[in-house]
Amino acid sequence: MTRNPLITLIAAIAIVFVAVMAFFYIRYGSMEAAGAEMDTVLSDAADVTERAADNLGEATEDFVDDVRDGTQDGQS
């Protein structure tokens, strides 16, 4: 019996989420504080991911421009 990879991924994400919430609950003593900390962590992760995606996009654009111009590492 094989499992659907999508179901496995969703289950793994749910387990990690519950584990992190439990950690924050133990650390801060309430679900409200745990939820607030989780919001902060996820917001920070989204900001970091956005910056990384922007940097990757710029690097890809520079690479494509270099290939189109026939240069390598900014040299002719």
The per-residue pLDDT for 3 is 78
Cα separation, 59 vs 56, in Å, equals: 5
The per-residue pLDDT for 38 is 85
Cα separation, 58 vs 46, in Å, equals: 18
As beta bridge partners, residue 75 has 72
The per-residue pLDDT for 73 is 58
The per-residue pLDDT for 75 is 58
Q: What does each of the 76 residues of the chain score in pLDDT, given as a tens digit?
A: 467 889 999 999 999 999 988 998 899 888 898 889 889 988 999 999 999 999 999 999 988 888 888 866 555 5
DSSP 24-71: HHHHHSSHHHHHHHHHHHHHHHHHHHHHHHHHHHHHHHHHHHHHHHT-
